[in-house]
Amino acid sequence: MKRLLITGAAGGIGSVCRKRLTHMADTLRLSGRGDLGEPAPHEEIMLCDLGDKIAVEELVEGCDGIVHMGGQSTEASWDVIRNANIEGMFNLYEAARKHGKPRILYASSNHAIGFYRQSQNIDATAPVRPDGLYGVSKVFGEALASMYHDKFGIETACVRIGSCFPEPTSHRMLSTWMSFDDFIRLVECVFRVPVLGCPIIYGVSANDATWWDNTSVAYLGWQPHDNSESHRARLDSEMAAPNRNAPDAIYQGGMFTADGIHEE
């Protein structure tokens, strides 16, 4: 690619993409609302509020691909979620429709299906069960991506990210963890495969304890290498497992299922 846009480039995963996707395009266009520092020679920085339609159109113009990590990343008030994750998604896809229909990797979330129990194993065909307003916004994003694919041919990988951190930090993450290495491998596959379509992909490493089945996206050629099981002994020594009646031990979405509605 000549130009790859990374939104949310100041965030945890976005900053990893900034460092490790330099081989994917001649230029990385980096966007966010916070300080992104000084651009490297191969970088462009464009600060942008995703709720600003005109700014998003300028952001997307000239890009051959988009890694969309931007938006509100946790539970929040409806006004905050609506601006970033509802209006922002619509603005992004309208801009993509008008400017060359670039392929998109959309950072969806496991919270789109958070009310499934940890005793259940699910795949991409499972009906959505969001565990909060944040999860609802991710379901909206997946539906929007599907419509723009069917109607306009924009290809999107909707990645339901589990817990993407250097290592799992809780017993629940033994099932949801995705290493940075495995995420970068996934990004590479998404932009390399000749025909992507609009698949739902569970963003999870090759964990023994996972609840999610990615059989339907085997055509991507993505093979996660890491396994959270290597961290189990450490977690057992550092903390007690959650009480069996706690949301973290019952639901795939963990404590998000116990959140109330956030007021302003």
Q: Is 215 within a domain?
A: yes
Catalytic residue among 106, 116, 134, 148: 134
Beta bridge partners of 6: 30, 67
What CATH number corresponds to the domain at position 62?
Answer: 3.40.50.720
Q: Is 165 within a domain?
A: yes
pTM, to two decimals: 0.97
Q: How many domains does the chain have?
A: 1
DSSP state of 264: -
Q: Is 43 within a domain?
A: yes
Q: Per the structure block, which two tokens stand in for 157?
A: 């990988």
Mean pLDDT of the chain: 97
Which pLDDT tens digit goes with each residue over 53-66? Answer: 999 999 999 999 99
Region 100-124 average pLDDT: 98
Q: Is 91 within a domain?
A: yes
pLDDT confidence tier of residue 263, bands split at 50, 70 and 90: confident
pLDDT above 90 covers a percentage of the chain that reads: 98
Region 220-233 average pLDDT: 98
pLDDT of residue 34: 83
Question: Is 251 among the residues known to form the active site?
Answer: no
Strand locations in the chain (E): 3-7, 27-30, 43-45, 65-68, 103-109, 156-161, 163-164, 177-178, 200-203
Q: Is 139 within a domain?
A: yes
Structural domain including 14 reads 3-258
Q: How far apart are CA 244 and CA 128, in angstroms?
A: 24
Q: Indicate whether 2 pLDDT > 80.
A: yes
Q: Is 263 within a domain?
A: no
Which pLDDT tens digit goes with each residue over 13-60? Answer: 999 999 999 999 999 999 998 889 999 999 999 999 999 999 999 999
Q: Is 264 within a domain?
A: no
